[in-house]
Structure 1
Amino acid sequence: MLGIDAMKNNYEFKVKRSSKERFEVGCVGDECKWKLCASKLQQSSYFKVRKYVTMHSCSLDVINRHHRQASSSLIGQCIKSKYEGVSRVHRPRDIIEDMRKDMGVSISYVKAWRAKEHAMELVRGSPEESYSLLPSYFAMLEAKNPGTITHIETDENNCFLYCFMSLGPCIRGFRSAIRPVIAVDGTFLKGKYLGTLFVATCMDGNKQIYPLAFGVGESENDASWNWFLTKLRGAIGEIDDMVFISDRHESIRKALSTIFPNAHHGACIFHISQNIRHNFKHERAHKLYFTAAKAYRVPEFHRLMTEIYKVDYEVGDHLNSAGYEKWTRAYFDGKRYNIMTTKIAESLNAITKDARKLPITRFLEYLRMNILQKWFYERRTKAAKMNTHLTDWADKLVRENNKQGLSFQKLYG
């Protein structure tokens, strides 16, 4: 590219003629003989260089350190490889330094920022184009992955409101092999139009994250959670003894009570602990709370609650008002097993931290290829080599418990 060559070799040019048929440029020095002339080939979109005077006879005084060819679009072309990975961080200040070292050109912070935006658009596509590609992308997903369910919701002006994606293998695996405990959570997107990512995820038999469904909406409000959970119900259907774990967001509570009225809803014990730590700042009560939340037997739970009341009466009242049936293992009506927090959903949010900057279709493809496809392949390969009836995690746990049991003393009545 002529502009890049000009920066690298420390000369500047000006366009003397530019049309559909002819292109002529010359050096910015009026007395300099350097020039390039090209004309369009017949029945082709290509231009052929007809004349090129390579030597410069101008003074270095005509060269500006801010170089007229150093446009944000041209710099973006030069640096686009820096943004090919979603986790790559290349800031405007890095671009300024690169241009100074590699090209000997000084650029402003604003120009560097615009170059960064242009480079990212070259690599990842524009946000507007990404939204327009979403229907075609979903159609292809459903065609190539049997059982996949997708939805797009738009307003009366055909502007995007929500989307939902749950791949067929995820749905089939959930129905056949996964405990019916779903953690739901939302986290913000970082692209041009922002928005919120909604996730529904489970834990598999090897204590690993099992993504079930994803959604995108404007924010965590009543309408968004209602829409997402309605589409989730359409994907997985009605399942006996269903359990949902979430933070104490009121929109989630209202949506679950309407859309999954027969399911059990448990609160994430970590979010409650954060409230205790922030509002009461009593470390002893905080530790007792975790032990009480995980207690299996009701008498043991009440013994621990008595201790909490002795340490800090206000903490005890706060936990009582939260509802024992929501956060305790002893009083919970359903089967939440060892899933006491929304950590599996939050871990998935952490994994997608950098990818949440991508345009929407590129982001959903990242979820499909770099998370779902990769994890399913790795786990299937590992499972094929197993020689035990239980998963690695479960087998290790059973063996450790058996080892401890060997030292127990048997008591006779």
Structure 2
Amino acid sequence: MPRVNLFTCSSSFDTDNSHSNTINLPSTEIVGDSDWLMGKKLFSSKEKLQQVLFMEALRKNFEFKTFKSGKNILVVKCVDDTCKWRLRALKFGSLNMFKITKYYSVHSCALDVRNRDHRHASFKLIGHKICHKFDGASSSYRPGDIKEDFQKQFGYEISYHKAWKAREYAVEKVRGTPEDSFKLLPLYMEMLKKKNSGTCTFLEVNNANNFKYFFMAIGGCIHGFISSIRPVIAIDGTFLKGKFKGTLFIATALDGNNQLYPVAFGVGDSENDASWGWFLMKLKVAIGEVPNFFFISDRHPSIQKNVNIAFPNVAYGICTHHLKQNLRAKFKEIEVGAIVELAAKAYRPQHFNYFMNEIQKVDERVVKYLQDAGYEKWARCHFDGLRYSIMTTNIAESMNSVLKNP
């Protein structure tokens, strides 16, 4: 895992907003249809001029090579030595700007020189032109989409590997590297506390100062949960798909309109005793003692074990949907999921007993499995507390779905 600097933060994020909104060149830089470079225009740097030349080569379906390049000069020629196309640019005064001084725009090369495997379609050039696709939180612009868009716009076929590298380059240009993001965590935590009164954050590192755990509960969410939300929290963990993997821990509730209400988030290595124990202890610090509190989760053993440690006086239940999935996996030849759901939702013990008898007629092993799971954890009529008809962890799973791309 990356190192986390608790005293300084990285500031190496790219702030260049010069990329256009499409892969095409910005319309303000194009004069006429073909010879717009003949205006001897000034460019902010040699790199900017080179980038414009690359895009012009893609648009006009030709290739060039660099004949001379230095701090003060740039000379490029067509790849065909018999072709007269060439451009010369010099540094303008004491500034870093470059000015075109000579430009011959007519191509005299043979058509067979212009091939489909374009040398100037580098992953950096493509990545720079798709940066705007990653300004938001979504990461759904995939390499396949990049290939398709490039083919439609320029008529060139690029490899999947090049499209993938372009995407990675664009994401890094917009958001910085994952290592930079980890280094920014301490500053992010301080800003959360400054801008959201009552926010609770924790960051833990190991002896080598490498990232280990992170916890965040926004002050407004904490206050709203304690004062206005029914005291039922669904907890779940989901895989992170970034460079350093790990697991995202989520504590979610429902508001009065049955909309998702986030309570807390955490990041750890995996769903194990240590990480779940750390997350639940920090959640206890954030929300404190809540009357008639109830937890619901899947049947992960680390969750139940650590809920009992962190919240010894809190009721705990298991998701009936996960219970049915476990039954289907364990007893593949038996289908009793519908009856189990009816038994779980029964309000009266006599109705519950009726459905359990029906299940026993099918297979006694299923009844034994349900008994071992604990009737009080999944059956409404046996639950001693206020469950508010929340029988599944769908709210946590829905939050996972919402956060999939970010």
Aligned counterpart in structure 2 of residue 122 of structure 1, from 173, 184, 191: 173
Match of 1:408 in 2: none
Match of 1:267 in 2: 318
Q: Does 1:300 align with 2:300?
A: no
- TM-score scaled to structure 1, two decimals? 0.80
Cα distance in structure 1, aligned partners of 2:358 and 2:150: 65
- With over 3 angstroms needed to count, the CA separation of the structure-2 counterparts of 1:337 and 1:30, relative to structure 1, is same
2:380 aligned counterpart, secondary structure: coil
Match of 1:80 in 2: 131
Structure with more of its chain in helix, by fraction: 1
Match of 1:147 in 2: 198
How far the C-alpha of 1:82 sits from its partner, in A, is 4.2
Cα distance in structure 2, aligned partners of 1:351 and 1:258: 30
Match of 2:42 in 1: none
Q: Does 1:32 align with 2:83?
A: yes
1:114 is matched by which residue type in structure 2? K
* Deviation larger for 338-347 or 282-291: 282-291
* Deviation larger for 335-344 or 33-42: 33-42
C-alpha offsets along residues 149-183 of structure 1, whole Å, 9 cap, x if unaligned?
Answer: 12222222222222111111100001101121111
1:56 is matched by which residue type in structure 2? H
2:255 is matched by which residue type in structure 1? D
Gaps of 5+ in 2: 1-51
1:200 is matched by which residue type in structure 2? A
Cα distance in structure 2, aligned partners of 1:46 and 1:222: 59
* Deviation larger for 92-101 or 187-196: 92-101
| Number of aligned residues | 355
Q: Does 1:223 align with 2:274?
A: yes
How far the C-alpha of 1:354 sits from its partner, in A, is 2.0
Match of 2:382 in 1: 331
Match of 1:395 in 2: none
Aligned counterpart in structure 2 of residue 195 of structure 1, from 230, 234, 246: 246
How far the C-alpha of 1:304 sits from its partner, in A, is 2.8
Give the percent of matched residue pairs that are identical in Structure 1 and Structure 2.
Answer: 54
- With over 3 angstroms needed to count, the CA separation of the structure-2 counterparts of 1:88 and 1:160, relative to structure 1, is closer
- With over 3 angstroms needed to count, the CA separation of the structure-2 counterparts of 1:314 and 1:133, relative to structure 1, is same
Cα distance in structure 2, aligned partners of 1:276 and 1:267: 14
How far the C-alpha of 1:71 sits from its partner, in A, is 0.9
Aligned counterpart in structure 2 of residue 186 of structure 1, from 234, 237, 256: 237
2:355 is matched by which residue type in structure 1? L
1:330 aligned counterpart, secondary structure: helix
How far the C-alpha of 1:239 sits from its partner, in A, is 1.9
Question: Quick check: 2:231–2:294 contact (8 Å CA) kept in 1?
Answer: yes
1:266 is matched by which residue type in structure 2? G
Aligned counterpart in structure 2 of residue 252 of structure 1, from 300, 303, 312: 303
Question: Quick check: 2:65–2:76 contact (8 Å CA) kept in 1?
Answer: yes
Q: Does 1:316 align with 2:367?
A: yes
Q: Does 1:278 align with 2:329?
A: yes
1:57 aligned counterpart, secondary structure: coil
Question: Quick check: 2:328–2:335 contact (8 Å CA) kept in 1?
Answer: no
Question: Quick check: 1:285–1:312 contact (8 Å CA) kept in 2?
Answer: no
C-alpha offsets along residues 203-253 of structure 1, whole Å, 9 cap, x if unaligned?
Answer: 112222111001111211111111111111111112232211111101111
Gaps of 5+ in 1: 356-413
- With over 3 angstroms needed to count, the CA separation of the structure-2 counterparts of 1:17 and 1:135, relative to structure 1, is farther
Aligned counterpart in structure 1 of residue 393 of structure 2, from 321, 332, 342: 342
Question: Quick check: 2:236–2:397 contact (8 Å CA) kept in 1?
Answer: yes
Cα distance in structure 2, aligned partners of 1:344 and 1:143: 29
Root-mean-square deviation (Å): 2.1
2:291 is matched by which residue type in structure 1? D
Aligned counterpart in structure 1 of residue 209 of structure 2, from 153, 158, 168: 158
- With over 3 angstroms needed to count, the CA separation of the structure-2 counterparts of 1:8 and 1:174, relative to structure 1, is same
How far the C-alpha of 1:184 sits from its partner, in A, is 0.4
Match of 1:210 in 2: 261
1:308 is matched by which residue type in structure 2? I
